[in-house]
């Protein structure tokens, strides 16, 4: 989730690169850098911190170069400090990278044996040395890049300069975005359109396994075999505000649609289909120590949406790994005397890594002798710093206050943890492992298809937009999902929304059921489907208006609902992913119909750093 900009033309590159990076800053970053070529040498400047730190560092320095590349980093491998900041370089290669190289450790070891000196902790620097290694063998620059790409596993977009050639910028893409911008006598490359828009609206998108070579007056395109290819140019009609949201009306909607990609990013390098294993590094090693303890249990602490992620995980971990799990709000945990100790693995879940109550719960847990594994989205934030180990979600910056992609990447990590624990306890047979891993890897595509094709939300939105109350019901693992659906609706539409376990309706909430009361029910074909149908019938007969989230093609359930929205089939364990997406979208469209401030709802903050 890094920002990339490159320029070649007749103007000085420095102000163009800095302005381009500034346009990408709304995503939030931790370090930045630029590189130019002058007199056959690289000029590289990097800093930790926000872009303004780089701007300060470059102030007063006049760079003559009319070719250059720039980068703002959202750290995935290695701390967000200057040495890990991009651009990275070897003798003749300097480059910026967005993505994750899964096999970088092995490549790094091989390069070190060959005598390459690697300075940073990043996966990116390995790519420079890999290309250098092919250059050292006499390959021309483009062939050296292509040969290096063949060795990289993972996702990347790369923008590369050659020390010995100030006439060309090289780009390659597999899995992370790159867009080229064309103008008279100058050309641009960037990770996102806003970085280009003040110069040109004529663009071409690089697709996976494509390369581009930018010169001042032309851009040529190749596949990874070196064959030249044709590219269509497009005219972008967006203004700057639209471009920052990739054309979506709000960041929240953009982030909902990013979920297939960020889930894939979170799985990358962790799900190993060849070895049929899950790799969680230090976290995996800590979990292994715990599974050997006789009274091992897990205690999840979190707030808000992250707490719901923990509740989903309880079903998976207890079911698959047979490890007892309790899930608690951090704000409650910190003020009682919880029974945690050295047999407890405290799992702290937090998007921001700064939530005060969760941080306090971590400190309490450590005092009582527990170990803390955190699941976090923001690298080097306070919670990972104070935890024993951290598994990062790779959701990228989440700007909408109502959390969406952070939630689904959290549950992606939690499901991997559940499978890993089950593997460590040898509770899964080969077929079971294979099925689960394959289902996980296929999940992003299932979600992508749903987001392209879903139907039925407009009528639900119309029904709900003027209501004052709405109820959500679900059972089993769908129970935390409907709590999350209700939270989303109340956060951004300000409609009072409550979630109940289906079986609990008769113990109170059924008293509220009367003609036309809106009830959103998850009625998926899981093992509690029949129970849910009975619960829905009970409230329908009292007049409730049923809006069902149902399995695609389930004709019987359509009859039961007043309105319905179909979701694709997925493996039973992964149904929370397919049911939460329509609930996020429902909240979004109802709020949009009401005209609320969706990305910054009243009274709410993205990160709650006070008690
Ligand atoms: C705030 C945010 C929520 C978030 C909660 C926990 O209330 O508005 O979206 O779920 O904090 O935040 P965390 O960063 O710890 O996940």
- List the residue whose alpha carbon is closest to atom 4 of ligand 1: 304
Cα 306 to ligand 1 centroid, rounded to whole Å = 7
Question: Domain check: are 216 and 353 in the same one?
Answer: no
pTM exceeding 0.85: no
CA 601 to chain centre: 22
Residues 401 and 396: their CA atoms lie apart, in Å, by: 14
Question: Domain check: are 429 and 494 in the same one?
Answer: no
Q: What is the CATH number of the domain that holds 316?
A: 3.40.50.10490
Question: Domain check: are 273 and 230 in the same one?
Answer: no
State the DSSP H helix or E strand holding residue 20, giving kind and residue range, or none if neither.
helix 13-23
- List the residue whose alpha carbon is closest to atom 7 of ligand 1: 304
Cα 25 to ligand 1 centroid, rounded to whole Å = 22
For residue 410, give the ligand 1 atom closest to its CA. 16
Cβ contact 75:124 at 8 Å: no
Cβ contact 190:203 at 8 Å: no
| Per-residue pLDDT at 27 | 67
- Structural domain of 499: 454-594
Report the 10 Å Cβ neighbour count for 427: 14
Out of 451, 484, 509, a domain closes at 451
Question: Domain check: are 467 and 404 in the same one?
Answer: no
* Pocket of ligand 1 contains residue 305 by CB under 6 Å: yes
In a domain, 19, yes or no: yes
For residue 306, give the ligand 1 atom closest to its CA. 16
Tokens of 58: 């470059």
Out of 188, 215, 243, a domain closes at 243
* Pocket of ligand 1 contains residue 350 by CB under 6 Å: yes
Cβ contact 309:349 at 8 Å: yes
Residues 364 and 370: their CA atoms lie apart, in Å, by: 9
SS3 of the chain: helix, strand, coil, percent, to 5: 40, 25, 35
Question: Domain check: are 289 and 201 in the same one?
Answer: no
**3-class secondary structure, 370:** coil
Q: Can you give the length of the chain in residues?
A: 611
* Pocket of ligand 1 contains residue 410 by CB under 6 Å: no
Q: Which of 444, 42, 492, 401 is nearest to 268 (CA)?
A: 444
Residues 436 and 379: their CA atoms lie apart, in Å, by: 28
Domain count, the chain: 3
Q: Which of 335, 339, 411 is nearest to 574 (CA)?
A: 411
For residue 330, give the ligand 1 atom closest to its CA. 15
Cβ contact 168:214 at 8 Å: yes
Residue 162's beta-bridge partner residues? 93, 165
Cα 36 to ligand 1 centroid, rounded to whole Å = 40
* Pocket of ligand 1 contains residue 31 by CB under 6 Å: no
Cα 350 to ligand 1 centroid, rounded to whole Å = 7
In a domain, 607, yes or no: no
Question: Domain check: are 428 and 469 in the same one?
Answer: no
* Pocket of ligand 1 contains residue 351 by CB under 6 Å: yes
Question: Domain check: are 432 and 286 in the same one?
Answer: yes
Question: Domain check: are 260 and 137 in the same one?
Answer: no
State the DSSP H helix or E strand holding residue 96, giving kind and residue range, or none if neither.
strand 93-101
- List the residue whose alpha carbon is closest to atom 13 of ligand 1: 350
* Pocket of ligand 1 contains residue 90 by CB under 6 Å: no
* Pocket of ligand 1 contains residue 607 by CB under 6 Å: yes
| Per-residue pLDDT at 611 | 67
Question: Domain check: are 98 and 43 in the same one?
Answer: yes
Q: Which of 578, 271, 550 is nearest to 447 (CA)?
A: 578
Residue 240's beta-bridge partner residues? none
- List the residue whose alpha carbon is closest to atom 3 of ligand 1: 304
Question: Domain check: are 397 and 413 in the same one?
Answer: yes
| Per-residue pLDDT at 473 | 97
To test ligand 1's pocket by mutation, which of 350, 608, 609 has the most ligand atoms within 8 angstroms of CB?
Answer: 608
In a domain, 424, yes or no: yes
In a domain, 604, yes or no: no
Cα 401 to ligand 1 centroid, rounded to whole Å = 8
* Pocket of ligand 1 contains residue 403 by CB under 6 Å: yes
Question: Domain check: are 445 and 587 in the same one?
Answer: no
For residue 305, give the ligand 1 atom closest to its CA. 10
Residues catalogued as catalytic: 2, 606
* Pocket of ligand 1 contains residue 355 by CB under 6 Å: yes
State the residue for tokens 């527990």.
370
What is the phi/psi pair of residue 48, to 5°? -80, 155
Out of 389, 417, 451, a domain closes at 451
Low-confidence stretches of the chain (pLDDT beneath 50): none
In a domain, 527, yes or no: yes
In a domain, 251, yes or no: no
Cβ contact 451:257 at 8 Å: yes
Question: Domain check: are 332 and 403 in the same one?
Answer: yes
To test ligand 1's pocket by mutation, which of 300, 301, 306 has the most ligand atoms within 8 angstroms of CB?
Answer: 306
* Pocket of ligand 1 contains residue 604 by CB under 6 Å: yes
């Amino acid at each position: 989730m890094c920002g990339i900009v490159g320029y070649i033309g007749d103007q000085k590159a420095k102000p163009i690169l800095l302005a381009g990076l500034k346009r990408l800053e709304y995503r939030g970053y931790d370090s930045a850098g630029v590189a130019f070529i002058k007199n056959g040498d690289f000029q590289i400047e990097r800093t930790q911190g926000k872009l303004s730190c780089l701007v300060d560092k470059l102030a007063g320095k006049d760079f003559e170069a009319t070719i250059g590349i720039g980068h703002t980093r959202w750290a995935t491998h290695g701390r967000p400090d200057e040495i890990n900041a991009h651009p990275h370089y070897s003798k003749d290669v300097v480059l910026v990278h967005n993505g994750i190289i899964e096999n970088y450790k092995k490549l790094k070891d091989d390069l070190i044996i060959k005598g390459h000196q690697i300075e940073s902790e990043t996966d990116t620097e390995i790519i420079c040395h890999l290309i250098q290694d092919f250059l050292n063998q006499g390959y021309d620059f483009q062939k050296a890049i292509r040969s290096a790409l063949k060795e990289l596993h993972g996702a990347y977009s790369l923008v590369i300069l050659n020390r010995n050639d100030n006439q060309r910028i090289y780009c390659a893409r597999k899995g992370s975005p790159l867009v080229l911008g064309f103008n008279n006598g100058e050309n641009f490359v960037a990770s996102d359109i806003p970085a280009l828009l003040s110069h040109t609206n004529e663009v071409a998108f690089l697709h996976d396994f494509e390369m581009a070579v930018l010169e001042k007056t032309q851009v040529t395109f190749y596949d990874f075999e070196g064959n030249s290819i044709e590219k269509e140019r497009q005219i972008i009609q967006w203004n700057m505000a639209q471009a920052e949201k990739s054309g979506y009306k709000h960041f929240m909607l953009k982030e909902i649609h990013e979920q297939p990609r960020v889930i894939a990013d979170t799985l990358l390098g962790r799900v190993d289909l060849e070895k049929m294993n899950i790799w969680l590094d230090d976290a995996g090693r800590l979990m292994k120590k715990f599974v050997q303890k006789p009274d091992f249990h897990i205690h999840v602490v979190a707030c808000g949406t992250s707490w719901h992620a923990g509740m989903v995980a309880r079903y998976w971990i207890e079911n698959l790994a047979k490890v007892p799990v309790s899930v608690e709000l951090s704000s409650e945990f910190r003020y009682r005397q919880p029974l945690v100790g050295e047999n407890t693995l405290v799992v702290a879940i937090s998007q921001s890594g700064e939530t005060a109550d969760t941080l306090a719960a971590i400190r309490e847990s450590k005092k009582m002798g527990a170990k803390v594994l955190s699941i976090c989205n923001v690298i080097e934030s306070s919670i990972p710093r104070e935890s024993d180990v951290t598994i990062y979600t790779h959701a990228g910056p989440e700007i909408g206050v109502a959390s969406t992609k952070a939630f689904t990447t959290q549950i992606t990590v939690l499901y991997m943890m559940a499978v890993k624990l089950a593997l460590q306890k040898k509770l899964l047979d080969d077929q079971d492992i294979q099925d689960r891993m394959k289902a996980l890897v296929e999940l992003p595509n299932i979600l992508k298809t749903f987001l392209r094709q879903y139907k039925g939300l407009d009528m639900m939105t119309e029904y709900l937009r003027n209501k004052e109350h709405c109820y959500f019901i679900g059972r089993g693992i769908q129970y935390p999902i409907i709590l999350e659906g209700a939270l989303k609706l109340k956060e951004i539409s300000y409609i009072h929304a409550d979630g109940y376990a289906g079986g609990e309706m008769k113990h109170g909430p059924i008293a509220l059921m009367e003609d036309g009361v809106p009830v959103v029910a998850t009625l998926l074909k899981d093992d509690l489907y029949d129970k849910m149908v009975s619960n829905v019938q009970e409230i329908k007969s009292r007049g409730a208006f049923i809006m069902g989230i149902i399995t695609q093609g389930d004709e019987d359930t359509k009859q039961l609902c007043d309105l319905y929205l179909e979701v694709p089939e997925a493996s039973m364990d992964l149904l929370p992913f397919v049911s939460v997406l329509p609930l996020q979208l429902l909240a979004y469209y109802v709020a949009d119909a009401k005209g609320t401030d969706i990305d910054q709802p009243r009274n709410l903050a993205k990160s709650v750093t006070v008690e």
